Structure 1
Amino acid sequence: MFKKKVPIYEQIKSIIIDNILSGVWKEGDKIPSIRNFALEFGVNPNTIMNALKDLQQKKILENKRGIGNIVCDGVVEKILRDKKEKFCNEKLNEVIKEAKILKINLNELKDEIESKW
């Protein structure tokens, strides 16, 4: 299930974020407990705790004492903004660099993108 080249806690963070973006968990919803995640993914609870702590630091989740981890309000917009920025700064730059090497002009690249859209 997990990729070997990416730390498991990073992959778990991505799964949680994808679940938030896809609407599995909405803003204000409680997500599963550390124990439930550990059982579901077959990993050490400390791995889950590391992923959740990072998401708490990024203000994606809030740990409410006695309740558990809750999806923060306004987080979907924040996640989308961050993911778009990362896409444009990393993947899109990589595509543009490769297109230039292959001598694909902007119009050709645009046509290819539109045909696959």
Structure 2
Amino acid sequence: MEFRDNKAIYLQIIDYVFEQILLGKWCANEKISSVRDLAAQLEVNPNTVARSYEMLQNQEVIQNKRGIGFFVCANALEKIRNQRREEFKIRELPEIFRSIYLLGIDFDQLKEAYHDFINTINLQENENK
């Protein structure tokens, strides 16, 4: 994983966990990597992963089953999607709408571009299977 300088590493690890859940790589009630394993995989200090996992537990995205490990909460996907949608609407959508307006792009063009994007994603997923 390539870490960016503009965001704290523990927050980037949270984003990584969110992405794994959103992509369906980590499913509800499934055991996830231990703190040490994820730290080794990402080449970071275990304390950094522990901090990320603590925040994820507070958000009720993961839970620690003592002596067994960490698991994805049953409603984690829904929580993450809702949180990310709100962030997107507040932070990114206004700038996207501004660009659409300034460039004179109509919704039919957007719809076509979106469908092309989805088709590309589906083709890539089928090739990876």
Give structure 1 regions of 4+ aligned residues with deviation exceeding 3 angstroms: 97-100
Counterpart of 1:43 in structure 2 is: 44
Are residue 84 (structure 1) and residue 85 (structure 2) matched? yes
Distance of 1:112 and 1:50 partners within structure 2: 44
Which range moves more in the overlay, 89-98 or 65-74? 89-98
Segment of structure 1 superposing worse, 77-86 or 32-41? 77-86
Give 1:63's aligned residue.
64
Shift of 1:93: 1.3
Within 5 A, what are the aligned runs for 1:90-109?
90-100=91-101, 102=102, 104=104, 108-109=105-106
Q: 2:23 aligned with 1:26, yes or no?
A: no
Question: Which residue of the partner structure matches residue 107 of structure 2?
Answer: 110
Greater relative CO (CA pairs within 8 A, separation 6+): 1
For normalisation by structure 2, the TM-score amounts to 0.79
- Could you say what secondary structure the match of 2:63 adopts? strand
Aligned to 1:17: 18
Q: State the secondary structure of the residue aligned to 2:98.
A: helix
The Cα RMSD (Å) is: 1.5
Deviation sequence 1:13-65 (CA, Å, 0-9, x none): 11111111111111101111111011111111111011111111100011111
Residue by residue over 1:46-102, the C-alpha shift from the partner in whole angstroms, topping out at 9 and shown as x without a partner, is 1101111111110001111111111001111121121112111211112223444x2
Q: Which amino acid aligns with 2:110?
A: I
Sequence identity (%): 34
Structure-1-length-normalised TM-score: 0.87
